[in-house]
Amino acid sequence: MKENNNRLGWLFASPYLIYSLVFFLIPLVWSFYLSFTNWDLIAPEYDFVGFDNFAKALKSPGVHAAFWVTYKFMMVFVPLVIVLSLVVSVLVHSLPRLKSLFLIGFFLPYLSSGVVSALIVKGLLSFNSPVNTALRKIGINIDWLGTSWSALLIVGMIMAWKFTGYYALILTSGLESIDHEVYEAAAIDGVTGRQRFWKITLPLLYPALYTTLILAFGVTFGIFTEVYQLTGGGPNNATNTWQMEIYSQAFKNLQAGYASAVALLASVATFISIFIIRKLLEKWGARNGWV
């Protein structure tokens, strides 16, 4: 293509350009501006308060909770979802028939609403539910959503339930791109079973696995619906995610200025964490000679 399409290029890209100006750049600048004010979302007047919002946020228990809860979710969600999706993809991949039927079935939770999932889990964990009735018979009596550790665990499990099918799809297409001859050659050398998985499948699957890991880590910074619906961030801030904290400060406590400062801190925490996680994952892959 020798001709230049300057005008046409800008014209075709214009929907994105307008969108990113109105719903990305302007809000971004505005957010910085708001974080130095004490605005309450409604009143026409407000004052500049310098770094007060940030100072307040750094001392607030809600923000501390949001910071740590993110990593706690990570520790529940990431291993669970990665192991589950690996199991599902390896298992389904080995089936000669009904492969797509299985994959689509596992994918169903990803497409359904977090509100619906939350409702079902709430029902399954209510006091007189079949699950709790059975558990009480063997002496286990837990208020699942009213206890800190179990509330965290439950929300982490709901997220894993939701994302397993999606990640399994990514991993399956990774598995399918592995050449069959590699396995045959390995079989001749006597590599089978578990060794085959660790020495051949996993290294060749690493690119797909890397994608899923990055996606999974990313998910933990954006949990809202399930928490909002099930625990409201409680009990005692045990499930208070960044999104939950920002939502409650801005739209419940009407502290838009302060919430903007919290959102800024959340973004910084997210940026740094994701950066470190990427570096660690790359190092891990390189050390094992997978990249």
* Positions in 11-40 near other proteins (CB under 8 A): 11-13, 15-17, 19-20, 22-24, 26-28, 30-31, 34
CB-wise, 12 or 288, nearer to other proteins? Answer: 12
- CB 269 to other proteins: min, Å: 9
CB-wise, 76 or 250, nearer to other proteins? Answer: 250
165, 201, 213, 248: residue in contact with other proteins (rule CB under 8 A): 165
Size, binding site for other proteins by CB under 8 A? 92
Find, among 158, 165, 172, 178, the residue nearest to 209 by Cα: 172
Site string for other proteins, 261-290 (x = CB under 8 A): --xx-xx--xx--x----------------
51, 71, 113, 143: residue in contact with other proteins (rule CB under 8 A): 113
Those residues whose C-beta lies under 8 Å from the C-beta of residue 41, and which sit 6 or more positions away, are 250, 251, 254, 255, 256
Find, among 120, 125, 113, the residue nearest to 153 by Cα: 125
Does residue 37 sit in helix, strand or coil? Answer: strand
Chain centre to alpha carbon of residue 191: 36
Calculate the dihedral angle through the C-alpha atoms of 151, 157, 161, 163, rounding to the nearest 10 degrees. 100
Site string for other proteins, 50-89 (x = CB under 8 A): -------------------------------------xx-
61, 75, 112, 282: residue in contact with other proteins (rule CB under 8 A): 112
Those residues whose C-beta lies under 8 Å from the C-beta of residue 71, and which sit 6 or more positions away, are 220
Check: CB of residue 238 under 8 Å from CB of residue 246.
Answer: no
77, 102, 144, 210: residue in contact with other proteins (rule CB under 8 A): 102
